[in-house]
Structure formats: structure tokens, C-alpha cells
Amino acid sequence: MDPGEISVEGVSRRFRIRAREVRTLKDLFVQRGQTEATDVWALQDVSLDVVRGEAVGLIGRNGSGKTTLLRIVSGIIKPTAGRVNAEGRIGSLLELGAGFHPDFTGRENVFLNGAIYGLRRADIRQRFDEIVAFAELEHAIDRPVRTYSSGMTVRLGFAIAAFLDADVLLLDEVFAVGDESFQRKCFGRIARFKQEGGTIVFVSHDASAVERLCERAVLLDAGRVAFDGSTREAIARYRRTLADETDPAERGAGLREWGSGEATIASAALVGQEGAERQQFLSGEPFALSVAVTASAGIPPPRLQLEVRDDSGALVAAQAVDLRELGWAAGNGERGIRFEIGSLPLADGRFHLRLGLTDESGEHLYHQLDDALAFVVYPDGEERGVVRFAGSWTLEEK
Amino acid sequence: MLGLAWSLLHPLVLMAVYLLVFSLLWRVAEVGSGDYWLFLLCGLPAWVFFATAAQASSRSLLENANLIRKVRFPRQLVPLSIVATHLVGFAVMLVVVVGLSLLRIPEARDTVWLAFPLGALFACMVAGVALAIASLNALFRDVEHLLTALLLPWFFLTPILYSLDQLPGVADYPAAEFAIHWVNFLTPPIEAMRDVLFYGELPALSETIYVVVAAVVALAVGSFVFSRSDDRIAVEV
């Protein structure tokens, strides 16, 4: 196996829970024998292969085994059955914060963690300033970690994990604390880590965070893999299982697709520079939308409408194209349509794409997909806001 | 540098107190030809090393719980690093005692250097004990208190203040003598060290064999106990 690959084969993990735990030798004498133990299987027959450079999200309800799986992959606990192999240097941030010694200063903890990750002192010293600057802890680095706020602890933990040349990053609820500007920085850093070929396994309750980071997600349910595939699908299923438990009346309400159906959108995908399908883009990158449309005989070529909205539902852009003008003479059969943008003019955020097929007048709706695709745009530099201005600055003599 | 001095402070104070009480004030026993204070100093370093290292390592896993729960690394390093820290103090004390012995006891000149291999074997014993105690204390939280309670009687049941063969009552209670000599695994290494440092004799063959075997057994048992409980340590600390 190469560094950065993770292989999990048929892993199960049992925890023994006793009604009255024997925690001291005294108990051992006083209680005379153990109380009945119940076995709790936190994981059952979980298999998972992650290749180098992949970002995989782990989602699931509380107690579904996400953190246990992360701890097993990191090697902190061992599986009861099955095999785990994770190659390379593993940086982990489990249960809010890295392994810090509370009485050591931030500086000492950086070196301690670096040593645990197997870095030489000189290597750590070389990266030290970068770590401290990223964590924004210049003023507090020589104070003991126990005096840090939870946000400061996570910032330092994240900075250490992200800058110590790990091959694999295991992140557990990193974004539960930490303010928004730091989260933005983290996302940027993680995106860079991924582009440089790092592998990420990411646990979060926050579906949108998983969606922003991962193309692939694994849904765990009661310690088993319920789904392993695209993040969108995994999140949809996750929401469905949550909804199953909440309000059955709510289930039918989220209808996202309607229309009369003479023509339909068979599939839609966003394509990146390299031609592969994806959901994450850097601001200013080439961006393409590829849609397949099927139409039954007897209707004129339809119009394809496209709307982009941000997370709050505000309209960012809307466009339409008459497929006849693209050269589709008779409106039957199946066609692929491609919409390309050389440099994506969006800056930062999560966007939703609505696709619609109408007749030529735009009045009769054949098919509409309300939330056909969602994608995330990361700032490439210091951009903020929704839109990226592709302008240029000049200096004029006055 | 200050850190090193600080870690030496505790054993040095302990040794100074023992010297003050037992050598200057009490004047316990005649120990053959040499000075009693030097006799005492030949046995004390090993005891102080054992007692402080065992006690500190018993708490070590719990004190580093945050690290153990969140990062993968060989957890044996936690108690072993404690032993290593105390080993520095032990080595310094040993060097001092060797120096004093060279000054005061000319007839021990040929054998004093044997204190170093004996010390190394003894360090292996301590490391094994530390591994076992540290892992047991993670599973049973009262092991450290039990150890603290045991250390005081243990000190008196180890021939440090006295020499086993010069106790008047030894002949009447052979069982007690046997227990102190062979069941208490600290006795053979301490006696052996005193032989080479104070009496200028080679240690008895039986004691030498005992020390070598005990070092190997302690390390083996310690690492076995630790690796058996390794997984539970990560879950339970």
C-alpha cells in the first residue's frame, strides 16, 4: 500500500458494558466476581477503501460508530475483528482538539505532537511559525494549553495536523467550535491539502460541511455501512433516515421535481477542468454543466432554463437556451447539452442549481428539477462574498 | 539545566534525610570496617530510583489521558519516559557514590565499576515493574494508592539501613530472612551493588544470576501485561 491509502476490511468493534464496573482492586474484592456484561457492537463488519487524495465523509446519527471508526483507523484502539491498514503519517483531530498535555505550553505541545507524528525537531522548528500564524496564537503560544479557550485549542490542533506533512487527516467535528473566519481558513487549508494529494476522513453532523469537503461519503447506521457513495446521495439518505424517525407527514413534503413529462432531464452533472464530475470548485476555475435531455416524439425542441441560487435562496444567475438554436431540429430522442464557463465568476459559498425544461414560449413546463445539483466554491485567494470580479487594477498618474 | 537539577532535587533531599537520621543522629549499626554513611549511600540510590520511578509511572497514563485518547503512538513510552527521567537521577547518584567509594575504600577499587552493569540490569527491572504498574493503574485506579502504602514497609523490609547477614535475629527466623532475601526482588541487586561498592567483593553468584533473570523476567512480564491491557487503556483512561 502507498502512503495515504486506507483499507478497512470487515472491521467490528465490541465494547463490554457492565452495570457496575470494577474500577478498583477494592471493587474486585468487595464485589466478588463480575456483574453480567452486555456487549455493545459499535461497529459491525465495516469495509472501506480510501485511495490517496480522496476525501471521505462519515455521516450518521449519534452512536452510529463514526468516532469509533475514526479511532480504529487512527490506530488508537484495535478492532475486535477484521483488519485495518492506514499507511503513512496520520494527523488526527479527535473529540475536539489534538492530544495536548494541558500543563504544557502551546509551543511545547507543538513539539510534542510533532515528535509523536515522527518529525524531527528541526522539521518542526521549520514549520513552527507557520503553525502559530495559522492558529492565530502568536500572543498565547507560551501559555499553558489549559488556559486556552476551546476555540484556541482546536485552532492549534488543526494547525498542527494540517502543517505537519501528514498523508492522512482524520477530522472529527472540527468545525463544532471555532468562529466563521477560522472555519473558512480551515476549509481553504483542507482543500489545498487535498489538492496536494492528501487523504481525508471527515466526521461531522453538519451535512453541508461534509458536502463542501467530500465527494464521497459513508453513511453509518448502528455500526454498519448503510451507504457508501456520492456525498449527495449519502446525505439524502441520512436525511431520510432522520425524517423517518421524526414526522412521517413531513416526508412527502420535499418534492423537488415536477412537470408534465413530455421532455425530461435525464441527468445533470458538473464537470471540472480535468473532465471529471465534481461538486467543488475553486473560484475562477473552468466550470462546465453537462445535461442530458430526453424528449418524446411530437414536441418541438424545448428550452432549457438554468438558475443558480445561493444557500439563502437568493437568485444569483438565471439563463435559458433554446435547444433549436443549438441545432436540435426535431424534439425527440436524447441529447447532451453542455454549458461551459472559462472562469467561474463565483467567489465563495454553496450554490444550488435549478434546471427546467419548457416549451418554446417558456410557459408550459415539461420538467423541473428544483435542487438538481449543489456545488461549493472555495475562494482561490482572498475573495469574499458571492461574486468574483474578473477586473484588473491600474495605477494612473494624476 | 535547571530542569535536570530540579529532578535531582527530590532524590538528593531524600538521601540527605536518610543520612541525617540514620547515620548522623541514630548511628544504627556497625557494618564492618567502613563508614556507616557510605554503607547507607551504597544502597540508597537503587531504592530511591525504584520508589520514585514506580510511583511516578503509576500515575503516568492517567496524567497523559488526553494524549492517549487522541493520538496513536506506542503507549509504552509514557511510563518508560518516566523511568528514563528518573534513570538520569539514578546515574548521577551512582557516579557520586562510585567516586566516594574510590576515595574512602581503597580495597573496592577493582570492583566499583561493576556497579554500572548492575545498575543497568536494575534499570531493566524498574522499567518492567513500571510498565506493569502503569497499565494496572489505568484499569484499577487504586493501584497507585496501594503502591504508596506499600512503599514504606517495603523500605524497611529491604536491607538498606542494615545488612542482612549482620542482623542478630536472622538465625532464629530463617523464613523471614528467606523472604527478605529472595522474595523481595530489590534485595539481591542492592546487596550486589553494596558488595562491589562497599565491601570490594564480587557479588555472590546466586545473586548475580537472580539479578540477570529478574531483569529479563520483569521486562517480559511488564511488556506482556502492558500489551494485554493496551487496548483497554485507550478506552478507559
φ, ψ for residue A139, nearest 5 deg: -80, -15
Cell of B1: 539545566
Q: Beta-carbon neighbour count of residue B94 at 10 Å?
A: 22
Predicted confidence at residue B1, as pLDDT, reads 46
Contacts of A154 in chain B (CB under 8 A): none
Q: How far is CA A340 from CA A268, A324, A326, A349, in A?
A: 13, 18, 14, 20
Distance (Å, whole) CA B209 – CA B203: 10
Q: Residue-wise over A147-171: b if at least 16 C-beta within 10 A, else e?
A: ebeeebbbbbbbbbbbbbbbbbbbb
Contacts of A25 in chain B (CB under 8 A): 140, 142-143, 146
Contacts of B139 in chain A (CB under 8 A): 23
Contacts of A26 in chain B (CB under 8 A): 142
Distance (Å, whole) CA A14 – CA A42: 6
Give the DSSP letter of residue B19.
I
Under 8 Å CB-to-CB from A12, ≥6 apart: which residues?
A41, A43, A44, A45, A46, A79, A80, A81, A82, A223
- Of A48, A46, A23, give the one whose Cα is nearest residue A34: A23
Q: What is the spatial order of strands in the sheet that A81-86 belongs to?
A: A37-50, A6-18, A81-86
CB contact under 8 A, A77 and B67: no
Distance (Å, whole) CA A114 – CA A107: 11
Q: Which CATH superfamily is domain A47-75+86-245 in?
A: P-loop containing nucleotide triphosphate hydrolases (3.40.50.300)
Q: Which residues does chain B have with pLDDT short of 50?
A: 1
CB-based contact (8 Å) between A326 and chain B?
Answer: no
Per-position DSSP letters for B98-144, written without gaps between them: HHHHHHH-GGGTTTGGGHHHHHHHHHHHHHHHHHHHHHHHHHSTTHH
Contacts of B72 in chain A (CB under 8 A): 74-76, 90, 92
Distance (Å) from the C-alpha of residue B230 to the closest C-alpha of chain A?
A: 9
CB contact under 8 A, B64 and A98: no
Q: Please, what is the angle between helix B115-139 and helix B143-156, to 10°?
A: 150
B contact test, residue of A116, A170, A201 with most B CBs within 10 A:
A116
* Of residues B66, B139, B234, nearest to A76 (C-beta): B234
- Of A216, A163, A171, A217, give the one whose Cα is nearest residue A192: A163
Q: Closest chain A residue to B142 measured between Cα atoms?
A: A24
* Of residues B67, B146, B234, nearest to A101 (C-beta): B67
Q: How many CB pairs under 8 A join A and B?
A: 57
Predicted confidence at residue A249, as pLDDT, reads 39
Predicted confidence at residue B27, as pLDDT, reads 67
* Of residues B69, B71, B234, nearest to A116 (C-beta): B71
CB contact under 8 A, B70 and A95: yes
Predicted confidence at residue A254, as pLDDT, reads 40
CB-based contact (8 Å) between A102 and chain B?
Answer: yes
Distance (Å, whole) CA B197 – CA B38: 9
Contacts of B70 in chain A (CB under 8 A): 76, 92-95, 97-99
Distance (Å, whole) CA B81 – CA A172: 29
Q: Beta-carbon neighbour count of residue B2 at 10 Å?
A: 6
Q: Closest chain A residue to B77 measured between Cα atoms?
A: A116
Predicted confidence at residue A252, as pLDDT, reads 35
pTM recorded for the entire structure: 0.72
B contact test, residue of A14, A18, A24, A80 with most B CBs within 10 A:
A24
Q: How far is CA A259 from CA A45, A262, A304, in A?
A: 43, 9, 13
Q: Closest chain A residue to B237 measured between Cα atoms?
A: A23
CB-based contact (8 Å) between A100 and chain B?
Answer: yes
CA atoms within 13 A on the CB side of B89: 27
Q: Locate the domains of chain A by residue range.
A: 47-75+86-245, 258-378
Query: Tell me, what amino acid is at A20?
Result: R
CB contact under 8 A, B69 and A99: yes
CB contact under 8 A, A76 and B64: no
CB contact under 8 A, A74 and B235: no
CB contact under 8 A, A77 and B140: no
First to last CA, chain B: 32
A309-313: Cβ within 8 A, 24+ apart: A309/A351, A309/A352, A309/A354, A310/A349, A310/A350, A310/A351, A310/A352, A310/A386, A311/A208, A311/A349, A311/A350, A311/A351, A311/A352
Q: Which residues does chain A have with pLDDT short of 50?
A: 246-255
Contacts of A75 in chain B (CB under 8 A): 72
Distance (Å, whole) CA A258 – CA A256: 7
Under 8 Å CB-to-CB from B189, ≥6 apart: which residues?
B46, B118, B121, B122, B125, B207, B211, B214
Distance (Å, whole) CA A108 – CA A141: 9
Predicted confidence at residue B32, as pLDDT, reads 60
Distance (Å, whole) CA A285 – CA A344: 5
Distance (Å, whole) CA B132 – CA B146: 14
CB-based contact (8 Å) between A90 and chain B?
Answer: yes
Indicate the fold that domain A258-378 takes in CATH.
Coagulation Factor XIII; Chain A, domain 1 (2.70.50)
**Counting beta carbons within 10 angstroms of the beta carbon of residue A252, is it exposed (0 to 12), middle (13 to 18) or buried (19 or more)?**
exposed
CB contact under 8 A, A23 and B140: yes
- Strands A168-172 and A199-203 turn out to be parallel
The answer to whether the beta carbons of residues B190 and B206 sit under 8 Å apart is no
